[in-house]
């Protein structure tokens, strides 16, 4: 099981890095810019979480595996662009899987540090979506997760389920899988049926 979790961690990081690198290439960033976007998307959320926990240096910045993921992602996007884009559909699935893993892992790490329920759920969500937010800010636009699609909400639910396990309400050995499964399922179903969160009606503004 630990091996499978480690695989999800690394593969999720890789898919996140690939998404960052793609955005970088699309914005005509140079090689360094593409590296920064890939790296930030992959590890940015975990870094913000670790800074908030006071767990310095942030784990994502000293993990050489993550760096290798980023480098492979950049090489793929440079030399095998066509192949990469033919895997767009499966990439969405692995992205959702990574989302669930990072949410659950981040929430658990925060809970172990602080035993604060609300804070830990928040940290789980930030671990999962923070990198994408920084990526969007670096490309000069509003984070896409704030405006459309069920993405951060799926991470919130995954983080919440994990905290049920971390705090002993459900057995911890199941909660990580339940969290990853729920988050991935919610994300994939919302994509499949094009479900979005309600926008608050705006009658008196502008």
* Residue from 1, 3, 4, 28 binding a copy of itself (CB under 8 A): 28
Cβ at position 108, least distance to a copy of itself in Å: 15
Distance CA 134, CA 57 (A): 19
Residues 38-97 that bind a copy of itself (CB under 8 A): 47, 51-54, 56-58, 61-62, 64, 67, 74, 77-78, 81-82, 85
Inter-residue contact 135 to 25 (CB < 8 Å): no
**Alpha carbon distance 18, 162 (integer Å):** 26
Considering only 112, 146, 169, 189, the residue that binds a copy of itself (CB under 8 A) is 146
Using CB under 8 A as the binding rule, whether residue 197 contacts a copy of itself is answered as yes
CA dist 76 → 29, 68, 136, 166 (Å): 16, 12, 21, 37
Instruction: Determine if 112 is a binding residue for a copy of itself (CB under 8 A).
Output: no
DSSP code for 197? P
Please give the Cα distance from 149 to 158 (Å, whole number): 16
Interacting residues with a copy of itself between 158 and 187 (CB under 8 A):
none
Residues 6+ apart with CB under 8 A from 165: 108, 171, 172, 173, 174, 175, 176, 178, 179
Interface pick for a copy of itself out of 2, 3, 32, 193 (rule CB under 8 A): 32
Helix (H/G/I), strand (E/B), else coil: 63: coil
193 binds a copy of itself (CB under 8 A): no
Closest approach of a copy of itself to the CB of residue 124, in Å: 12
User: Inter-axis angle of helices 31-53 and 64-79, to 10 degrees?
Assistant: 150
Residues contributing to the site for a copy of itself (CB under 8 A): 22, 24-34, 36-37, 47, 51-54, 56-58, 61-62, 64, 67, 74, 77-78, 81-82, 85, 110, 113-114, 116, 118-119, 122, 133, 137-143, 145-148, 152-153, 156, 196-206
């Amino acid at each position: 099981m630990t091996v499978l979790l480690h695989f999800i961690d690394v593969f999720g990081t890789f898919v996140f890095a690939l998404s960052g690198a793609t955005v970088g290439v699309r914005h005509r960033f140079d090689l360094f810019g593409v590296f920064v976007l890939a790296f930030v998307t992959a590890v940015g959320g975990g870094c913000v979480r670790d800074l908030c926990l006071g767990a310095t240096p942030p784990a994502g910045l000293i993990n050489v595996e993550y760096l290798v993921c980023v480098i492979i992602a950049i090489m793929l996007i440079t030399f095998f662009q066509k192949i990469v884009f033919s895997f767009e559909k499966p990439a969405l699935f692995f992205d959702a899987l990574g989302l669930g893993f990072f949410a659950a892992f981040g929430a658990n790490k925060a809970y172990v540090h602080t035993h604060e329920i609300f804070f830990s759920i928040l940290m789980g969500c930030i671990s999962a979506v923070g990198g994408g937010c920084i990526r969007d800010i670096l490309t000069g636009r509003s984070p896409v997760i704030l405006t459309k699609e069920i993405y951060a909400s799926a991470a919130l639910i995954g983080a919440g389920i994990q905290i049920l396990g971390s705090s002993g309400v459900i057995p911890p050995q199941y909660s990580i899988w339940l969290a990853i499964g729920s988050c991935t399922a919610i994300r994939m179903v919302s994509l499949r049926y094009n479900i979005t969160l309600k926008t608050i009606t705006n009658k008196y503004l502008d």
